[in-house]
Amino acid sequence: MRREKFLRGIGAGIVLLFSVSSVWAAYDMAMDARVYQYSLYKAKRSFGVTLQVKVVKDNRPEQEKLAKGEDHPYTYDALWADLVDEMLAKVLEKEFSQSGMVKSVDRKNDRADYVVLIELNSFHGRWATDPRTIKPVYDIYGNTEFAARLVSRKTDATLFKKTYTGRTKIQASQFRNRYAVCAVEAGKAFKEAAVKLMEDVETALGGGKVTSY
């Protein structure tokens, strides 16, 4: 009984999250706080260097890019306001900029002192029906996986290369637009991975060793 009340409460909150019901709405993680809330990560040290963030490969599987049928359970590219790699690069640019870690961050500065090269392997939100419940209850998942490499342009040396993941899950019993809720979970998962990346970049810039796991 308590679990059902809890799920109804979550569902009611999600219904109010987005009033738009069209699945063709464009979601923008970089600009819309309803879709993505920045981590507010603050670096312990500040380095007088410049940084470029660049997504160099998009290796996501097809179901994360293209909708297959009217009830496709994954977020897909047409739902986002921008190209996915561009949007995520913008998010990382702002995350690093707000952290105070470096002097400046610019996605397009090919002369920056350091560059973070990203290969995107997975990024999506999706839903699935929970078979254990009598009334319709949905499991909403967020998933992110990318490989990142930090390179010093001055020495042409790779400071570290590592794969980052973010995983989130909530349950909801009702909502007007499942894609809106899935977009939010995708953003949460990406933020989880982004914070891990920022921690490692700060460690590497300070001369520390980044673990490979």
Tens-of-pLDDT digits for all 213 residues of the chain?
444 443 444 444 443 344 444 445 699 999 999 999 999 999 999 999 999 999 999 999 999 999 988 789 999 999 999 999 999 999 999 999 999 999 999 999 999 999 999 999 999 999 998 777 677 788 999 999 999 999 999 999 999 999 999 999 998 887 778 899 999 999 999 999 999 999 999 999 999 999 887
- Contacts of residue 25, Cβ cutoff 8 Å, sequence gap at least 6: 18, 79, 177, 179, 180
- CA pair distance 76, 171, nearest whole angstrom: 21
pTM tops 0.75, yes or no = yes
Q: State the fold for domain 2-205.
A: Rossmann fold (3.40.50)
